[in-house]
Amino acid sequence: MESLIQENVSLKPFNTFGIAVQAKQFVEITKREHLSQLFNEGLFKQDFLVLGGGSNILFTQDYTGLLIKINLKGIGYTIQQNHSFVTAQGGEVWNDLVWYCIDHQFPGLENMALIPGTVGASPVQNIGAYGTELMHVFYSCLAFDTTSGQFVTFYKDDCNFSYRESIFKSKYKNRYIIIEVTYKLDLSATINTSYGAIEKELSNRQIQHPTIKDIAEVVSYIRVEKLPDPSTVGNAGSFFKNPIVPKSTLQRLLIDFPEIVHYKIDEKSYKLAAGWLIEQCGWKGKKQGGAGVWHNQALVLINANQATGQEIFELSSTILNDVYSKFEIQLEREVNIF
Ligand code: EPU
């Protein structure tokens, strides 16, 4: 069988930071059987890395293993009682799926409009925005097990979802390749306008009874206003996670920083806004070498001027140190570093 592998391929078009590194070996998967072929050739025994939209990754050096770009396409659905089960292939662009659902009047994904990336990556980090998370609509996924060559189905309870986390990022990191995801959408779901910015923009537009299309449009508008467009300014969305801290830590911080942004999760824990912490350290809109912090959202690091991945990584380390010195809070990177 003909080899699928290309050698020394530039990864610049395949990562939204626009970092110009190379992969020693590169393969584009357009059919499921390609994965079985790679397995039979023993290629999963070496280092490999799976790329969806390349929107949550920072390359700090050339990649010396096999880079696998998932490009499987297709979306379909079935209706069962009051639910629509929408199945999309891993290489579909997430936002295309959102609009497919809106066009078919299936509610549930509209608050996550315009999140960059692919369907296959959506469960890995349990993507979320504007008051909702993927885990609320996830039904199952089909994944290729790179250790056995089998295709395996994972249901929601198998995935250990939590804020920006799943089993595919922890216990099964680098073992399964998600090739297809099924979402279970409640056809009688009500619209979620709980996020302040959505309410505000709906009111600006004088929309009193929003449709799911209105919500997707408003969310897209807010995102474009706040976040840089990767096609013009390299970035990977939020670079850090919002830290979750015990109540005692919040109480300590409130003494010196009474205006600290925080959200209650439960009686014992609170989420802090990492963007606020970084802004308080003076980093919003600042640059270090070719790397920078976005002027409208301090949680987003950017490729300001032909940055190397190393420069962006160094900026992230400086920010981690500064936030720790000021608040004694250890931020964690959300973006995967290679
Ligand atoms: N804030 C600041 N300064 C900043 C940024 C934010 O003070 O520079 C404050 C805001 O004023 C607000 C709070 O922090 O009070 C939260 O800000 P925002 O609503 O922008 O959301 P976020 O918590 O910073 C998270 C997600 C985003 C998602 C938004 C909206 C994470 C790590 N990030 O950001 O997700 O779009 O909520 O739901 O959870 C992504 O993951 O790539 C991403 C963009």
pLDDT tens for each residue of 124-143 = 999 999 999 999 999 999 99
Query: HEC string of 48-95?
Result: EEEECCCCCEECCCCEEEEEEEECCCCEEEEEECCEEEEEEECCCEHH
Task: Return the pLDDT at 4.
Answer: 85
Is residue 175 annotated as a catalytic residue, yes or no? no
pTM above 0.95, yes or no: no
Nearest to 59 by CA among 309, 302, 308, 317: 309
- % of the chain residues with pLDDT over 70: 99
**Domain 234-337, architecture per CATH:** Alpha-Beta Complex (3.90)
- Dump pLDDT digits (tens) for 318-334: 999 999 999 999 999 99
Task: Give the separation between CA 289 and CA 312, rounded to whole angstroms.
Answer: 9
- % of the chain residues with pLDDT over 90: 97
Is residue 238 annotated as a catalytic residue, yes or no? yes
Q: Averaged over 185-194, what is the pLDDT?
A: 93
Task: Return the pLDDT at 2.
Answer: 64
- Dump pLDDT digits (tens) for 230-266: 989 999 999 999 999 999 999 999 999 999 999 999 9
pLDDT band (50, 70, 90) for residue 205: very high
CA of 210 to the centre of ligand 1 (A): 23
Which pairing describes strands 300-303 and 336-337: parallel, antiparallel, or unpaired?
unpaired
For the chain, which residues make up each domain, given as ranges?
A: 2-70, 75-186, 234-337
- Kindly name the residue from 164, 217, 223, 311 that is annotated as catalytic: 164
Q: Which atom of ligand 1 is nearest to the CA of 284?
A: 8
Q: Tell me the two tokens of residue 143.
A: 């994944």
For atom 16 of ligand 1, the residue with the nearest CA is 273
Fold of the domain spanning 75-186: 3.30.465
Of the options 3.40.605.10, 3.30.1130.10, 3.40.50.300, 3.30.43.10, the CATH number for the domain spanning 2-70: 3.30.43.10
Which pairing describes strands 63-70 and 22-29: parallel, antiparallel, or unpaired?
parallel
Pocket of ligand 1 (CB under 6 A): 129-130, 227, 237-238, 241-242, 261, 273, 275-276, 279, 284, 297-299, 334
For atom 23 of ligand 1, the residue with the nearest CA is 273
Average pLDDT, the chain: 96
- Dump pLDDT digits (tens) for 1-38: 567 899 999 999 999 999 999 999 999 999 999 999 99
